[in-house]
A = this chain, B = another copy of it.
């Protein structure tokens, strides 16, 4: 299986790409500009010389040819990125990880799109894809460190139950992480809005907080 990452040159995209490569997946590292993808892959391979990382640079069109595609573009660019690739992404599992948020009056606050969440907006422009929300709460910097796994749950939601299970299983293979199925796309609003709240926790406690659910079997 190949996994594509759109917008993989940003902090979130680099983290998800290197983590997926580290568990043996072939990762198509996508960017609007091929040269930036090549630069990012060069940097990642240089940072982790002892690892076998199957990271292949390409543009977003190339990355969209993978079997599973993660959208790591900042939220402002998510819709234009995926709508341009609607044909290629049809019938595939597409993972949305963006959070719409901003600093407002000194606080990090969620921005609610008319669909309630970025993930639901992605599902709206990709009606033929199996859109899944995941990876919203992981701090990109610490998560990019292969030597120090996070201690976190990844809340996964989708109206496509098979795709949700697929992503939960993929998350369960990532060191330090556990996938939790939080139901349908309607849960994406809460998941995405929680990210600025976690950033407020980080600011107050000078840390990188993440989430664990207790009480799960």
Query: Residues of A at under 8 Å CB distance from B?
Result: 104, 107-110, 112, 150-152, 155, 157, 180-184, 186-187, 189-191, 193-198, 200-201, 203-217
The answer on a CB contact under 8 Å between B216 and A205 is yes
The answer on a CB contact under 8 Å between B181 and A215 is no
Shortest CB-to-CB span from A168 to chain B, Å, is 10
Which listed residue, B112, B197, B205, touches A217 by the CB 8 Å rule? Answer: B205
Number of copies: 2
Main secondary structure of the interface of A (DSSP, over half): mixed
The answer on a CB contact under 8 Å between A151 and B181 is no
Given contacts A214-B211, A216-B205, contact A196 B187 (CB under 8 A): yes
The answer on a CB contact under 8 Å between B209 and A211 is no
Shortest CB-to-CB span from A6 to chain B, Å, is 26
The answer on a CB contact under 8 Å between B216 and A200 is no
The answer on a CB contact under 8 Å between A207 and B200 is no
Contacts A/B (CB < 8 Å), 10 sampled: A151-B215, A182-B200, A189-B193, A190-B193, A193-B193, A194-B194, A205-B217, A207-B215, A207-B216, A209-B213
Shortest CB-to-CB span from A199 to chain B, Å, is 9
Given contacts A201-B183, A204-B181, contact A110 B213 (CB under 8 A): no
The answer on a CB contact under 8 Å between A191 and B197 is yes
Contacts of A205 in B (CB 8 A): 180-181, 216-217
Given contacts A212-B211, A215-B207, A216-B209, contact A197 B155 (CB under 8 A): yes
The answer on a CB contact under 8 Å between A107 and B217 is no
The answer on a CB contact under 8 Å between A190 and B197 is yes
